[in-house]
Structure 1
């Protein structure tokens, strides 16, 4: 499967949360104070991918869509996943015009609203962020001043740490 900057073929962060939820074989649902997250499987290109989808608590749209458990031969914009180190992968992203930001366990591409979780120095998940995060919030996240975010947004990122 060749994943792209715009997301999963036939799946978008601009879809309604309810539509995305209906397409997954649900493994786990979590409802927290009126907003949800689901984890389930989606068949793509002959493989069953484990996916997570989080709902934005303010808009009830999609906060993020994450593909977990990549398969041999999977690519991102034509770049092989699972075959190179995180540093090499970030270098390949830069070659296609992305500006990757590397942290201990994540490679962020804020302009594309995509991130990659790194496990044992290999990108192992892809996450697309919903359009509900405005540019100012994204810039604040990467400025090191996450405390300056709206408290409703800040707690989502704090929970990931």
Structure 2
């Protein structure tokens, strides 16, 4: 298989795999149907503790207006808390609510469990191949993030 074929096949599988994990996770724990964009925004805020909308947009590589729209919905559902910046009163700081952090923990536990069950159901050769591919996938992610920031 050529590099182009590998890239095409890998790209074709990523979206459905991600959606399958989310679907199974939500079903297993009866979790709310949060859009993936909201989950990613919460992950950025959880990792940072708090951030400005501009910082979130840069980390997610999306337009500031996209972050504004997400934050509007997420503050209404008590997932994101808005507060003033300690250094600039014109700037807003965003933080995940305690409820959002608990939901992220539930999603992570459920998705890990769902993935573990699926991996355990694979043939031994497939499990070994998946384990062996993890460093390459991590390197691919780093390369994709590097190219996006250049």
TM-score, length-scaled by structure 2: 0.29
Q: Which has the higher contact order (CA 8 A, sep 6+)?
A: 2
TM-score, length-scaled by structure 1: 0.28
Max radius of gyration: which structure? Answer: 2
